[in-house]
Each structure stands twice: as structure tokens, then as C-alpha cells.
Amino acid sequence: MTDDNAPKPRFAPRVFSGIQPSGGLTLGNYLGALKRFVEKQDEGIETIYCLVDMHAITVWQDPAKLRHATREAAAAFIAAGIDPERSVLFNQSQVGAHAELGWVFNCIARLGWMNRMTQFKDKAGKNAEAASLGLYAYPALMAADILLYHATEVPVGDDQKQHVELTRDIAAKFNHDYGVEFFPLPAPVIEGAATRVMSLRDGTKKMSKSDPSDASRINLTDDADAIAQKIRRAKTDPDPLPDAVEGLEGRPEARNLVNIYAALAGSTPAAVLDEFAGQGFGAFKPRLADLAVDRLAPISREMARLMADPAEIDRILARGADRAEAIARPILERTFEIIGMVRSRG
Ligand code: TYM
């Protein structure tokens, strides 16, 4: 027997994804990420989900608000259907290996690669000189989050695609530079009708927790009245809904509401238009509001219930961090060996 017949190292399917606990979560986070995290968990694949508090501090966070938002995001995950027994659920800062591998990847990623990251340009704005070094280096930490678990699939919204592609570049360069097949090249999984949920006030802008207008987004903490009111007041145009998706061209607000309806209903934009073609927003919006309240209000109610016992949330996060650490540590140790660090503490 020669080694040529030895099976090639393969990576078992494993899902990793994360959400920043900087402010509350929005309908965009829910449809683009959280709802799909639950679907992945329910498919039976190993799923690891992280509240990335170390990413959150790339812009200044009020400490008390950050702590609250981290617990609230954990409550949102559980309320949306993440089972902390079937999935690993934890906050990033409790597993130090993220920062350690993040440093290694700072030494792998090239400045030229980082300079192409559109999200840094958007977030740093005109005054990039005043942005933190962490904001600039953040995609290397995100690569560490994913590769620390040898994850193969990364469900994200459309805006994170470039960062997952950078993660693949970092994995490939590491493997090449050290002559190993150690890190997998993880795939971004960007699926469903709402991979980019837009602002309710401006269909050309992404729905975001940092938008100054609360009317631009639905928060996962909004109650039924707030959800319905925001949908009723969402910006639209005067035309009726078309009978095919092509008819949404040049109508960003209409397209956004149709996509949201489809994602909430687990359907497709084409099927939604089959049902509502020819109807105006006066008829469509109340139906969308009913659907949104039906799907989202139970989540906000359950979040409120869970938040009444923060000690229990902390216990869940501690247990999740222990489980995450058990996967991450050996991979980090092997990384250090590969790159030539003396590890003599046993
Ligand atoms: P973050 O916290 O900005 O967003 C979390 C997830 O929600 C998705 N998302 C949206 N999807 C559709 N429409 C929207 N309007 C919308 N807004 C947000 C995002 O695409 C994302 O999937 N860098 C990441 C967090 C992160 C991460 C990771 C993700 C850190 N490490 C490792 C995956 C794997 C971020 O800032 O996402």
C-alpha cells in the first residue's frame, strides 16, 4: 500500500455564522441570517452560531448597552428557534482562540486585499483616518471565526459575501504558504428571497440597525402594533403590483416589500406576484402587515420572556463557549504547530 491511495483529507459539513450584537437585531438580520440559521440547524448539520462582540467594538460601544445587546441577541436566537443543545451558541469574547487565530490571519491577509473591502469603505466613511485599526482588520478576524471551526458553509446576507470570499483567500494562502491542506475553503450560502432587505424609507438603502430612522427598519423587539404601523407607513409607489418579477425593475420599494413577503411566507417573489398582480399597496400592505405580525410578534414576546432571566442566558452562553472551545482549541494548537510556534506547556 502506498500513501497515494490514502483518502484525501475531507472536511465534514459544518456551518458557522455570526451576528454583531451592536444594537438590536432587525428584520434584515432575521430574514438574511437568523431564519436561515434555524433552517440549517433543522437540516441536522452541525451548526455553530456566534454573537460577535469582538467585532462590535470595532466602533465604540457603551459597555452596559453592549452587555444588554449581547444577551438580547442570544434571546433572539433562541426565540427564533435556535436550540442551544442542537446548535453551539456563544459569544465570541468567551473563546480567546478567535483573537489568537485572528492575529495569525492578520499576518496572512495582504493590505491590497483589505483595501478592496467595500464594507470598510462604507463604514469608515469619508474620514477613514479616524476609523479604528480593528475596523480595518475585522475581515481577518471574521476569517478566524469561520476557520477556527473548519466550517464549510457560512450562511450570510448578501453584504457579507465579500468577507467570506476573503476568508477563502486567507485559507488558500495559509495552505499554500505552509504546504498543508489544513483549512477548508468555506462556501458563502446566500439563499432565499431576502438576501438583502432594504430600508422601509428608501428602497435603495440596506435595512440597518445603525440607520438613524427607526421607521426604516423592523426591530425584532418591536411589538405587533409597531410592526404593523411601520409596514403601513413604508414608502411605496402609486402603481399596482406587476404580474412578473421583471415588472419590479426600477421599483426598489415595491421589490423590497414583495421580497419580504416571500421570505416571511417561505415562498418566492414570483408566487407572491401571482397572488397579488394588479393590486395596489392599499390591498397588499395590510396582508404583509398581518403576515409579519404573525411571524415576528411571537419572537419578540418570547425574547421579552427570556430577557426576564439574564442569568439563564449567561449560563447558556457559558455552556456554548465551553463546547466551542473544545472544537477550536485543537485546531488553533495545530495551526501554531504548523507555523512553528514552540508549544511546550502541554
Ligand atoms: P452583521 O451583524 O452586520 O449582520 C448579521 C447577518 O445579517 C445579515 N444582514 C442582512 N441580510 C439581509 N438584509 C439586510 N438588510 C441585512 N443586514 C444584515 C448579514 O449579511 C449577516 O449575515 N461580519 C458580520 C458578522 C460576522 C460573521 C462572522 C458572519 C463576524 N464573523 C463569521 C459570518 C461568519 C456582520 O457584521 O454581520
CATH number at residue 78: 3.40.50.620
Q: CA–CA separation, 27 vs 219, rounded Å?
A: 6
Q: What are phi and psi of 251, to 5 degrees?
A: -125, 70
Cell numbers given for 182: 489544513
What pLDDT is attached to residue 346? 74
Contact 333, 343 (CB under 8 A): yes
Mean pLDDT of the region 160-164: 98
Indicate whether 93 and 128 sit together in one domain: yes
Contact 57, 66 (CB under 8 A): yes
Indicate whether 23 and 145 sit together in one domain: yes
Q: For residue 121, what are the CA distances in angstroms to 68, 127, 143?
A: 28, 10, 19
Cell numbers given for 247: 415588472
What pLDDT is attached to residue 205? 96
Indicate whether 183 and 227 sit together in one domain: no
Q: What are phi and psi of 309, to 5 degrees?
A: -130, 70
> CA nearest 125: which of 65, 242, 210?
210
Pairing of strands 14-19, 187-189: unpaired
Measure 140 CA to ligand 1 centroid, in angstroms.
Answer: 15
Indicate whether 251 and 327 sit together in one domain: no
Number of domains observed in the structure of the chain: 2
Q: Which residues pair with 146 in a beta bridge?
A: none
Q: CA–CA separation, 157 vs 194, rounded Å?
A: 8
What pLDDT is attached to residue 131? 96
Confidence grade of residue 68 (pLDDT, cut at 50, 70, 90): very high
Is 119 a residue whose pLDDT tops 50?
yes
In a domain, 345, yes or no: no
Per residue in 289-313, pLDDT (tens digit) is: 999 999 999 999 999 999 999 999 9
Indicate whether 237 and 144 sit together in one domain: no
Mean pLDDT of the region 11-17: 97
Is 3 a residue whose pLDDT tops 70?
no
Q: CA–CA separation, 81 vs 77, rounded Å?
A: 6
What pLDDT is attached to residue 23? 85
Q: CA–CA separation, 120 vs 115, rounded Å?
A: 8
- Alpha helix stretches (DSSP H) within the chain: 27-29, 35-43, 53-56, 63-80, 97-106, 111-115, 118-124, 133-147, 161-178, 224-232, 252-265, 269-276, 281-307, 310-339
Confidence grade of residue 9 (pLDDT, cut at 50, 70, 90): low
230 an active-site residue? no
Atom of ligand 1 lying closest to residue 159 CA: 20
Mean residue pLDDT of the chain comes to: 96
The whole-model pTM stands at 0.96
Indicate whether 319 and 297 sit together in one domain: no
Q: State which amino acid sits at residue 12.
A: A
Measure 170 CA to ligand 1 centroid, in angstroms.
Answer: 19
Rg (CA), the chain: 21
Helix/strand/coil for 309: coil
Q: Provide, rounded to the nearest whole percent, the portion of the chain with pLDDT above 90.
A: 95
Is 107 a residue whose pLDDT tops 70?
yes
Mean pLDDT of the region 236-261: 97
What pLDDT is attached to residue 59? 95
Atom of ligand 1 lying closest to residue 160 CA: 20
Is 4 a residue whose pLDDT tops 70?
no
Mutate to test the pocket of ligand 1, among 38, 82, 156, 195 (most ligand atoms within 8 A of CB): 156
> CA nearest 21: which of 59, 88, 68, 60?
68
Indicate whether 248 and 167 sit together in one domain: no
Show the domain range for 273. 214-305
Distance of CA 202 to the CA centre of its chain: 22
209 an active-site residue? yes
Q: What is the CATH number of the domain that holds 228?
A: 1.10.240.10
Q: CA–CA separation, 152 vs 11, rounded Å?
A: 7
Q: CA–CA separation, 213 vs 98, rounded Å?
A: 34
Indicate whether 84 and 119 sit together in one domain: yes
Q: How many CA atoms lie within 13 A of 87 on its CB side?
A: 27
40 an active-site residue? no
- Output the CA angle 109-110-112, nearest 5 degrees: 135
**Which position among 206, 230, 235, 285 bears the catalytic label?**
206
Q: What are phi and psi of 181, to 5 degrees?
A: -115, 60
Measure 32 CA to ligand 1 centroid, in angstroms.
Answer: 8
Confidence grade of residue 5 (pLDDT, cut at 50, 70, 90): low
Polymer length in residues for the chain = 346
Indicate whether 290 and 160 sit together in one domain: no
In a domain, 122, yes or no: yes
What pLDDT is attached to residue 1? 47
Residue nearest to atom 33 of ligand 1 (CA): 17
Measure 54 CA to ligand 1 centroid, in angstroms.
Answer: 14
In a domain, 268, yes or no: yes
